[in-house]
């Protein structure tokens, strides 16, 4: 069977093992004003119940699995207590799920302690992603963050003192009231910390958030020109400081003498998503893609716990997409990366020839200067990466 004959191609990597695992921790100290991720403020007694349910879900997927990448995101994983983390880490050791080459835990500067960071590091966590968002006190308050500017510096020092050698900082731009000078200052302070990685997102007005409501009633205005200028500033500052943009919003510090299409300090877990690899997703609202089937867990922590307590997975849905539709999604994901899609790899992953199936889209983007087709790959240009969401949609079938 092959794609050009019109018959469904087989996924040539269907039998390959699942090597990435994401665990969602659905609790935060307080809900930020812009956030649409599934998380609850003040989990109370539900947190212990969630920990037990998560361990049951680990037990279901553990057989035969040796994770290459692990990622605890949220929510706020660093909010879990020492005792709750010990329970999770002991279960992971028992199930042979530790020892990943890259193991990331997300943290909020308000909930980082030395003992917790050391506990995580001793278990094998070697990468921490810290949600700073801004170094400006007024903007932190506007975003509804629970942490202060000072806590960012203190938490960063704690992570380093605990032996975490790979630290990523999350920042946001195009925040209402944020001037270019504030953004420059935040970028400069994040870079001066010496972190290995930066994730920088434009503020999005997500439905069902206080920020969206403010926009609806005219209390916020979107300044698209300023947002573009801030993105340009980000590229200039990060590049000048020795970072390489390897995805629309992600920048990794380049080690001396390093070559290769993806930086060594890029987040391997996320690269696996963008390149269409398999991954398990555990915890409420977590998404997964395993052996051709994609699924999502229920975005309700009580319902999630009830399912696992009955010994069942807590899927909201599980589906297998038609091959061309899935290939279109993968094309769209991979184009978010600066390295684009190596044409051979795309064919191996999907069974489709990118340059044949999407020739009209490739021509259109190339004519606009947003993309370039090279002998071995197709990628968006730096200008095109700014419009990656729009470009990616063209590939969906």
Interface residues toward ligand SF4, by CB under 6 A: 28, 31-32, 35, 37, 39, 74-76, 108, 131
Residues recorded for the chain: 397
And the tokens for 155? 């938490």
Residues 159/135, Cβ–Cβ less than 8 Å: no
**Pick from 266, 282, 245, 253: nearest CA to 70:** 282
Q: Which is nearer to ligand SF4, 108 or 237 (CB)?
A: 108
Q: Which is nearer to ligand SF4, 74 or 176 (CB)?
A: 74
Q: Rounded to the nearest 5 degrees, what angle is found at the Cα of 238, between the Cα atoms of 232 and 241?
A: 140
Residues 255/265, Cβ–Cβ less than 8 Å: yes
Q: Which is nearer to ligand SF4, 31 or 160 (CB)?
A: 31
Write down the least CB distance from residue 43 to ligand SF4, Å. Answer: 12
Q: Which is nearer to ligand SF4, 75 or 340 (CB)?
A: 75
Dist CA 176 CA 168 (whole Å): 24
Write down the least CB distance from residue 39 to ligand SF4, Å. Answer: 5
Write down the least CB distance from residue 297 to ligand SF4, Å. Answer: 16
Q: Which is nearer to ligand SF4, 146 or 339 (CB)?
A: 146
Specify the DSSP element, H or E, that contains 141.
helix 137-143
Residues 245/385, Cβ–Cβ less than 8 Å: yes
Write down the least CB distance from residue 108 to ligand SF4, Å. Answer: 5
Write down the least CB distance from residue 96 to ligand SF4, Å. Answer: 29
Residues 111/131, Cβ–Cβ less than 8 Å: no
Q: Which is nearer to ligand SF4, 131 or 334 (CB)?
A: 131
β-pairing, 40-41 vs 27-28, is parallel
Write down the least CB distance from residue 75 to ligand SF4, Å. Answer: 5
Which ranges in 194-261 belong to alpha helices (H)? 210-216, 224-240
């Amino acid at each position: 069977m092959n794609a050009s004959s019109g018959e469904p191609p087989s996924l040539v990597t269907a039998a390959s093992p699942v090597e990435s695992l994401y665990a969602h921790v659905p609790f935060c100290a307080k809900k930020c004003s812009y956030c649409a991720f599934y998380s609850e403020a003040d989990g109370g007694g539900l947190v212990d119940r969630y920990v037990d349910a998560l361990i049951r879900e680990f037990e279901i997927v553990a057989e035969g699995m040796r994770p290459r990448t692990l990622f605890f995101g949220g929510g706020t994983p660093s909010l879990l207590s020492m005792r709750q983390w010990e329970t999770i880490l002991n279960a992971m050791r028992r199930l042979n799920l530790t020892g990943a080459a890259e193991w990331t835990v997300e943290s909020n500067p308000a909930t980082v302690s030395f003992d917790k960071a050391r506990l995580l590091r001793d278990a094998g966590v070697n990468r921490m992603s810290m949600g700073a968002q801004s170094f400006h006190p007024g903007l932190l308050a506007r975003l509804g963050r629970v942490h202060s500017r000072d806590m960012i510096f203190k938490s960063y020092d704690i992570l380093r003192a605990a032996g975490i050698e790979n630290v990523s900082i999350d920042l946001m731009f195009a925040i209402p009231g944020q001037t270019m000078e504030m953004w420059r200052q935040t970028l400069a302070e994040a870079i001066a910390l010496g972190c290995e990685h930066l994730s920088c997102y434009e503020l999005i007005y997500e439905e069902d958030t206080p920020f969206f409501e403010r926009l609806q009633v005219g209390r916020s205005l979107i300044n698209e020109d300023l947002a573009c200028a801030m993105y340009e500033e980000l590229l200039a500052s990060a590049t000048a400081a020795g970072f390489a943009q390897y995805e629309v919003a992600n920048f990794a510090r380049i080690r001396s003498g390093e070559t290769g299409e993806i930086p060594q300090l890029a987040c391997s877990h996320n690269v696996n998503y963008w390149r269409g690899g398999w991954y398990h997703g555990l915890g409420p609202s977590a998404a997964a893609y395993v052996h051709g089937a994609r699924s999502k867990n229920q975005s309700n922590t009580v319902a999630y716990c009830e399912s696992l307590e009955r010994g069942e997975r807590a899927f909201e849905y599980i589906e297998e997409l038609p091959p061309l539709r899935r290939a279109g999604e993968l094309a769209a994901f991979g184009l978010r990366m600066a390295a684009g899609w190596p044409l051979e790899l795309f064919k191996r992953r999907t069974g489709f020839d990118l340059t044949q199936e999407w020739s009209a889209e490739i021509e259109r983007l190339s004519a606009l200067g947003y993309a370039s087709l090279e002998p071995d790959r197709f990628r968006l240009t730096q200008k095109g990466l700014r419009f990656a969401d729009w470009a990616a949609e063209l590939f969906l079938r």
